[in-house]
Amino acid sequence: MASFQYKGQRDGKACAGTIESPDRKQAITLLTGQGVMLQQLEEITEDGAGASAGGLSLRLGRGKKIKPRDITILTRQWATLLEAGFPLARALEFVSRQNSAGPMAEMVADLSASIQQGRDFSQALADYPQYFGNIFLSMVRAGETGGILGAMLVRLAEMREADEALADRFKSAMTYPALMMGAMVIALGVMFAYVVPQFATMFEDMGRALPGPTQILLNVGDFASTWWPAVVVGGVVAGASFRAWTKTTAGAFQWDRTRLEIPVLGNFMAQFAIARLARTAGTLLESGVNLIDAFASAGDVSGNRYISHIIQRALAEVRHGKPLATALADAPVIPVLLREMIALGEESGQVGPMMKRVAEVYDRQTRETVSGITSIIEPFMVLFMGVVVGMVVIALLLPIFEMSTGGV
């Protein structure tokens, strides 16, 4: 008899506790029969901790728009229920009952109704292309055909969870520098808006020739105070124009290529794209998708159009009989590790598992890179801010210092 921890709601109030049941399916059935709307269900392991890997979490977004993370949670729900032995129709009905409002509830209820009408799950999901892309549909279709839908949903959930963890690491690496830069801009703005004008008035009253650094600072302050509306408008227009350019096919391709050449950050972005590429390709290959289709889809979701272009160009050679590793031999950006692992996989017929290993390697590298970037950027940004603010302060105090020393 296994023990399970659960959290949920009963009669509109939060409830939590433990329940003993032969298996997860029986636990869900018992709690549902007691009127509990489950939010979380985890098996208690021997050390007393909840086994979250196979846990059931029903914390779905209820906003106006369904977020990608909500789709990942939903996929994990379906996978958990199917692996626990629930029929697909019952699993969808169960999840539908747990979400009583919002677009998520409407979508899940519609999917449940479609299955009850006899449609395939992949056909029902295809009605929501904004949430379930080609890769998702292909893997679900393969799972239906092979009778392993639960296993396919597990793979999809794991792939999406890993991609989201990777994206979170990327955001964390970018957030701190952006915050520090924003703080510096605000600090300089306050100084030029309030501090520098007061010193400028005082210097005019002194009637003395000002040192070069001080004069430059005052000129910059005068320009900023006079032309700041034009600067702001120009910045907004430039930003909007750049954003519009990166949304064009040529602009997006060139920007993705340029980003990979940025010192330090370019290497991290390449690791991020290769990790997604390898993980997606590995998952698709292990799901029965052929090599060309698997890498074509993986290139599309790598997050970098330049890398996707390189993959598509190599696949054109594969269609003419060349091995993929050979087609990628001279390809820029593509790391040696990826090419060598593809070559080993092609020789052994194990390209899928090899790609999973490549993804693990680059996942680990991205974690190390985030840690390294943070440890380098933090002191650098603090030093940079200190130097800039210090130079402004020195420029403001230099005339006063010269006057005091000249009067001695």
> What are the tokens at 2?
């296994």
In a domain, 236, yes or no: yes
Same domain, 199 and 312: yes
Residues 313, 260, single domain; the answer is yes
Q: Is residue 60 within 8 Å of residue 99, measured between CB atoms?
A: yes
Shortest CA distance to 314 belongs to which of 343, 289, 287? Answer: 343
Q: How confident is the model at residue 385 (pLDDT cuts 50, 70, 90)?
A: confident
147 located within any domain: no
d(CA 151, CA 157): 10
Domain co-membership, 210 together with 250 = yes
Q: Which domain holds residue 47?
A: 1-57
Do 212 and 237 belong together in one domain?
yes
Do 263 and 207 lie in one domain? The reply is yes
Residues 156 and 159: their CA atoms lie apart, in Å, by 5
CATH label of the domain that carries residue 290: 1.20.81.30
Q: Which of 89, 114, 132 is the last residue of a domain?
A: 132
Look at the pTM and tell me if it is higher than 0.75.
Answer: no
The secondary structure element, H or E, covering residue 57 is strand 50-57
**Predicted pLDDT of residue 311:** 94
Q: What is the dihedral of CA 311, 139, 343, 269, to 10 degrees?
A: 50
Residue 140 is assigned to a structural domain of this protein: no
Instruction: Decide if 86 is inside a domain.
Output: yes
Q: Tell whether 195 and 76 lie within a shared domain.
A: no
Note whether 164 and 20 are same-domain residues: no
How many structural domains comprise the chain? Answer: 3
Q: What does the pLDDT read at residue 378?
A: 75
Looking at the structure, tell me whether residues 15 and 98 fall in a common domain: no
Are 254 and 317 in contact by the 8 Å Cβ rule? The answer is: no
Q: Could you tell me if 233 and 243 lie in one domain? A: yes
Residue 406 within a domain: yes
172-231 per-position pLDDT tens digit: 777 877 888 888 888 877 777 777 777 777 777 776 777 888 888 888 877 777 787 888
Task: Work out the average pLDDT over 123-144.
Answer: 87
Q: Are residues 43 and 116 in the same domain?
A: no
